[in-house]
Amino acid sequence: MDPNNPYETWQAVIEKVKSYGTVNPAQVDAFLGRMQPQASSVGFLLATVDTDFIKGQIEKRFLSQIEQALRDLFETEYVVEIEVDPGSSAFMQQIATQNAQQAAPYTPPAQPAAPQAAGAQAGAAPIAPAHSEPAAPAAQPIQSQPQVAPQVQPAIAAQPSSPQPPAATSHLTGSQIARANGMDTGAAALTFENFIIGDSNRLAYSMAVSVAESPGKSTLNPLFIYGKSGLGKTHLLRAIQNYILETRPDMRVVYIDAQEFITEYSIAAIDHSKDKSSFQAFQSRYLDADALLIDDVQYFQGKSATVNIVFQLFNRLTDAGKQVVLSADRSPKSIDIDERYKSRFNSGGTYDIQPPEVETKLGIIKSFIEEYKRSEGSWDLYVPEDIQMYIAEISSSNVRELKSAVTKVISQMTAFGNPDITLSDVKSLLENHFSAGALKKITVEAVQHEVEQYYQVSHADLIGTKRSRNIAYARHVAIYLCRQMIDIPYNDIGKRFNRDHSTIMSSVEKIEKKTKESRELQEELEIIIKNIREN
C-alpha cells in the first residue's frame, strides 16, 4: 500500500476501523463516508468534510480509531487533519443534483393578493364556526405581515437581516434553551449525537443534519421524512430543533404535532367571530418562525380547511427562505390530500426511514444501556451480550418498544434483585412484550382478513378461482405475507388458498421481486402488516 496515495490509504483506514469490535460498521460508513481524502504521506493524512457538525462528530467518535488504524497499517504515528469544505462531499452533491432533477414542478394555487394599504386589518377573513372541521378562510389568505397579539413575538420580517444572538441566551445550556422554548426534558434529549445510524436511516439522518446546519436551503425545503411509527422521525425533527436552538439562538423554531395543530386551528377559528386577535395570534406564531417542523402530517387527511391554512403558512415561509420540515407515516403520494399539496410536499427533499436491521437495533440497545448507566451512575451494570442480541432479534421495528424491553430487563436486574438474569429469564419476561413482534401468534385467517379489507375483495374471491387483476394481486400479497409472517410450508399455505405448492411458490416469488422495484408495494405491505399485528 502506498502511503502517498490518499484514496488508497483512506479506503484501507475505513476497512481497518470497521474491523475493531468497539465500533458500529454502519455508523463508520455514515460518518467516514462523508470524508474526502485530500493528501497523505508517511505520518500525515488530510481529509475534508462538508459541515462543521460532521467534523465535530468524526473527531468525537472516530478520531482515535482513525489514528489507531493508521498506526496498525503503517506502524508509525500519524497526524490527522480534518478541515471543512462545503463543496467537498460527493455524496451531498449527488443528493442536491438528485433533488433538482426529481423535484416535481409546482405551480402555487391562485390566491388573492394580500391587502397592502396602510392600516388594513391583518389576519384571515372571518371563519364560520364548525362542529368538527372549521371552514377555510374563503376570501383572503393569511396575510404576509399579520398584526401580532401582545403575547406573541414580533414578526420575523421586522427583525434585522443579520441578527446577533441575544446576550441573555448566549450563555445558556442546551437544556436551558430548550426549556425557554417550551420543550420538556425528553424532547431536549433527542439529538443527532444519540441517534443510532444504520443502513435503514442513514440518508434521512444526513439530510436532517444538512437542514439543521443550513436551514432554508432550497434543495431541501421542505424536507419530508416518512416511515412507520417508532422508527425515529420525531427524534430527527427534535434533533433539528435542538441543533438550531443551540447553534443559532437568534432563530425561532416551532415544532408541533399535526393533531395539536388541528386542535389549535379549530379553537382559533371558532373563537375568531368573538375575538379576532385569537386567530391573528395563532397565525403569527407560525409566520414568525424561522423553521417550522410539523410531525405526523398524515393526520391532515380529511381536514381540508386545515390543509389550506397549512399550505398558506407553508408557502409564506418557504418563499421567505424559512425552513419547513414535515414527517409522516407514509410517503406524500399515499396521503389522501389534494394533488397540488402532494406535489408541494415533494418539491424539496423526500426521504424514508426503513425498519432497523438487527445490527442497528443492537446499536440502539447498547446506546440505551450506556445512557442508563450514566444517568443512574450504575457503572457496574452488565447486560450479557446474548441477552442484548436476543432482544434485537425478536423485537419489533418500533424503537420505543425496543427501549421499553431493555428497561424491563434492567429493572429485573436492579429493582427486583436479579443481577445474574439469564437468557431463559428474559425469554419468559418478554414473552408478551412486543405487541407487533414476532412472538405474537398470527394466523392465516388474520392475514387473509386484513388483505381483504385493504384491497376490498371478498374472502370467496381471495381463495376462489377468479383471476381478475385486482383479485390476483391481493391473493399474491396474502400468500406472500403468510409465508413471511407465519413461515409455514408452501403446502400448508396452498391448502388455505385452494392452490398447489408450485402456485404458492410462484406468488411468493412475484411479490418478492416486485418489492425490490416498487416503493409503493413496500408501503402497502407495511400498512397491512401493521394492521395484522395490531388487530
Residues contributing to the annotated binding site for ATP: 230, 232-234
Alpha helices in 377-500 (DSSP H): 385-394, 399-414, 423-429, 444-455, 459-462, 469-485, 490-497
User: In the sheet that 349-352 helps form, which strands lie side by side, from edge to edge?
Assistant: 253-257, 291-295, 323-328, 223-226, 349-352
In three-state secondary structure terms, 289 is coil
* Residues that constitute the known binding site: 230, 232-234
Task: Give the separation between CA 157 and CA 160, rounded to whole angstroms.
Answer: 8
Length of the chain in terms of residues written: 535
Distance of alpha carbon 308 from its chain centroid, rounded?
24
3-state percent breakdown (helix, strand, coil) of the chain, nearest 5: 55, 10, 40
Q: How many CA atoms lie within 13 A of 108 on its CB side?
A: 13
In three-state secondary structure terms, 256 is strand
Task: Give the separation between CA 360 and CA 97, rounded to whole angstroms.
Answer: 29
CB neighbours of 182 closer than 8 A, spacing ≥ 6?
A: none
234 is written with which cell numbers? Answer: 420525531
Q: How many degrees, rounded to 5, is the angle at CA 20 between CA 19 and CA 25?
A: 65
